[in-house]
Amino acid sequence: MSDAEPVTAGAAENPTDVYAQFEQYDFDADIAFQNGLASIVVGAQEQGKSEDEVADIVGRAKAFYFSRTTGQALDWDAYRTHKASRPAEARQLSFNEIVELVKSGQTHLVPNNKTVPEGLNNGPSTTSSATARAKPWEAAVSG
C-alpha cells in the first residue's frame, strides 16, 4: 500500500479541493504506485504509443490510484478540463530578460511596471512641527 494517509470520502466535497490535493500528492515517493506505473509505461511504449498518449495514460493511472488510495473520486477528463481553464501562472522573468525588454522599449511587458511621474509634488510644502532630537554629545552635556 501507500505511505500516504488515506483521506475520507467526505473530506473535500469541492472538486477544486480534490484537484489541489491531487496536485500535491507525491506520486514519485509512492513506491507502490511507481512499481505499477513502470509496467504500464513499458506496455504503452511497446504498443508504439506517442509521448502524448503515454502522458495521458500516466495521468489516468495517477487519477485512478489517487481515487483508490484517498477514497475521493477524481475524473481525469474533468481534471484536465479544469486545469486547461485555469489561467497560466506568470513566469518570473530573469534580470537579463527584463533588461532586454527595457532596451527594446517593451516596458509594458515587464511585470509590476508602474509609471513614475516626471515632476515633483506640486503641492505646498509644510513646515516641521516636531522639535529636533538632541545629538548624542548634546544629550551628555545637558543630562
Question: Considering its fold, how many domains does the chain have in total?
Answer: 1
Q: Would you say residue 122 lies in a domain?
A: no
pLDDT single digits (tens) 5-64: 444 444 446 778 888 899 899 999 989 999 999 899 899 889 998 988 989 999 999 999
The whole model's pTM is what?
0.54
pLDDT single digits (tens) 117-133: 788 888 888 888 888 88
Residue with cell 490535493: 21
Domain of residue 25 covers: 15-85
Residues making up the chain, counted from first to last:
143
- Do the Cβ atoms of 42 and 103 come closer than 8 Å? no
The three three-digit cell numbers of residue 108, written as one number:
509594458
- Do the Cβ atoms of 19 and 75 come closer than 8 Å? no
